[in-house]
Structure 1
């Protein structure tokens, strides 16, 4: 398991009892919000901002590693990133596990290793391997329902004795199928042991998401990712009894824009004087990474240095 506070990345070690539970977040009666993170720094920032849970985004992690969101990054690389996130933040992490990196065996192995390295849950989408990001192109072949149910059951059986949340992501609407196909798949995944259903859409409005929620009748908690239909007021999600909203890629996208603007401006102006007051201070960075704890530890564990007499 990852260790909160290792390498000074967390302010204090937080007991397991004091941590928010991913299951509690998803099963809460009120609407919950989970924020994207893709490394230790973004995880720390999201926690400091007040979010109670993190989404280890496949798109964002792949992008930060220089890969495309098309299973170009391996599951072992994903585990390494999630471990650093878990070291940095004390709030639970739901991991975007893509389609499970292969068949049932790959899915259960990845889930087990993610749990061992600090993840509180995994989300698997019902596509084949390799998958493509849901907003890229129109080719999104879906897995056979029975085969995908096998992936879900394998994960549940592997971690049956652990409090590990399994979210099944339905991509039927992304692939161009209708509500009937999406609902059929969601019910099958619930029967296979999923703890929650994530229904995904690429439309600019939430109409098909809200329609699905109405027909789903809250059988299991419903999770959504409103990247495209971001103008919809969140009160509509509350009225639809949606469980959890994932803000899925905004830390990564904010970083891309900010870094591009800073690089272009420094190159153009040939000085950092103009941007110094528009970026985080070094003291802010030192605070996020808890340099104070290191200084206190040095006082406890390093021998005192005698001051030479003049």
Structure 2
């Protein structure tokens, strides 16, 4: 059985890549099938999406409904079942300053390589959706300061997200991003810029690692990694790609079963059962049974 990197080693690997300004691409994971599938493909980082994780866990909107306990359990399961560093969504930090401290400590203990905290009011709303409101800048600055102080590993990345662009404009979002950087955030996440020109402006203004949130059907243009790197971004996440593709596949195959009573001839691709057993680790189970069989 291959040796799994420690959580500290995974944090160090990702932090080094960010600090060395080597571009990072991170697909969204939302359950253990998506986590295992992405893990074996050699990405530098995986991103635990709040939308997808809440949807797969509870079947509910990403609207501040999932609790810290529910989310940290998912972080631990993802981190334990993969070898790739994970940056995990922690919404608003699940409350006030004390909650933020516990969130950072909990995510770090669970094995995350980074934690994302946003400046929305509670209950939060999913990015790229309307009606998001933000807390006062000074309150979020204190949250970032607490988050930085709470981590025990300096390689535990603090990702500070501002949702100010949609309701308060780009200038306010940039002002907040600069303040969050001064407070100690390692990565700045200006949510929902609405054009390539806005993304260029963010890259010119913010002298820090920047994260681009690329959502199919969202507000932000889907730029290539090469273009993002050119304009000053250091990381791109694709939080919805996995669960949107999964939903499309399920819709197709379940529709075929409903319409015809069979999957024979269905247009939706079917992942080979033999590959799924391998992905889930059945070969290790069979090897164990052969070794210890009477």
Q: TM-score by structure 2 length? A: 0.91
Match of 2:237 in 1: 246
Q: Is the 8 A contact 2:21 2:209 kept in 1?
A: no
Bigger shift: 162-171 or 253-262?
162-171
Instruction: Write out per-residue CA displacement over residues 66-86 of structure 1, whole angstroms, 9 at most, x where no aligned residue.
Output: 110101111211112122211
How many Å apart are 1:278 and its aligned residue?
Answer: 2.5
Match of 1:115 in 2: 108
Structure 2 CA distance for aligned equivalents of residues 161 and 93 of structure 1: 15
How many Å apart are 1:303 and its aligned residue?
Answer: 4.2
How many Å apart are 1:178 and its aligned residue?
Answer: 2.7
1:295/1:184 Cα in 2 relative to 1: closer, same or farther (>3 Å)? Answer: same
Match of 2:279 in 1: 288
1:105/1:48 Cα in 2 relative to 1: closer, same or farther (>3 Å)? Answer: same
After superposition, residues 172-183 of structure 1 pair within 5 angstroms as 172-179=164-171, 181-183=172-174
Root-mean-square deviation (CA, aligned residues, Å) is 2.0
Q: Which of 1, 4, 16 is equivalent to 1:24?
A: 16
Instruction: Write out per-residue CA displacement over residues 43-93 of structure 1, whole angstroms, 9 at most, x where no aligned residue.
Output: 111122221211100011111121101011112111121222112211011
Q: Is the 8 A contact 2:133 2:164 kept in 1?
A: no
Structure 1 CA distance for aligned equivalents of residues 17 and 54 of structure 2: 26
Q: Secondary structure at the match of 2:164?
A: coil
Match of 1:5 in 2: none
Instruction: Write out per-residue CA displacement over residues 147-184 of structure 1, whole angstroms, 9 at most, x where no aligned residue.
Output: 111111112111144531101012221223232x1222
Structure 2 CA distance for aligned equivalents of residues 206 and 193 of structure 1: 27
Structure 1 CA distance for aligned equivalents of residues 102 and 153 of structure 2: 15
Match of 1:99 in 2: 92
Match of 1:164 in 2: 156
Structure 2 CA distance for aligned equivalents of residues 260 and 277 of structure 1: 9
Q: Which of 197, 204, 219 is equivalent to 1:214?
A: 204
Q: Secondary structure at the match of 1:49?
A: coil
Higher Rg: 1
After superposition, residues 1-310 of structure 1 pair within 5 angstroms as 12-16=2-6, 19=10, 21-65=13-57, 66-137=59-130, 139-179=131-171, 181-201=172-192, 203=194, 205-216=195-206, 218=207, 220-227=208-215, 228=218, 229-275=220-266, 278-300=269-291, 302-304=292-294
How many Å apart are 1:294 and its aligned residue?
Answer: 1.4
Provide structure 2 residue ranges, at least 5 long, that are not aligned to the other structure: none
Structure 1 CA distance for aligned equivalents of residues 19 and 237 of structure 2: 14
Bigger shift: 126-135 or 27-36?
27-36
Match of 1:6 in 2: none
Structure 1 CA distance for aligned equivalents of residues 267 and 196 of structure 2: 41
How many Å apart are 1:277 and its aligned residue?
Answer: 8.3
Q: TM-score by structure 1 length? A: 0.87
Structure 2 CA distance for aligned equivalents of residues 22 and 123 of structure 1: 14
Structure 1 CA distance for aligned equivalents of residues 64 and 48 of structure 2: 15
How many Å apart are 1:232 and its aligned residue?
Answer: 2.8
Structure 2 CA distance for aligned equivalents of residues 127 and 215 of structure 1: 22
How many Å apart are 1:257 and its aligned residue?
Answer: 0.8
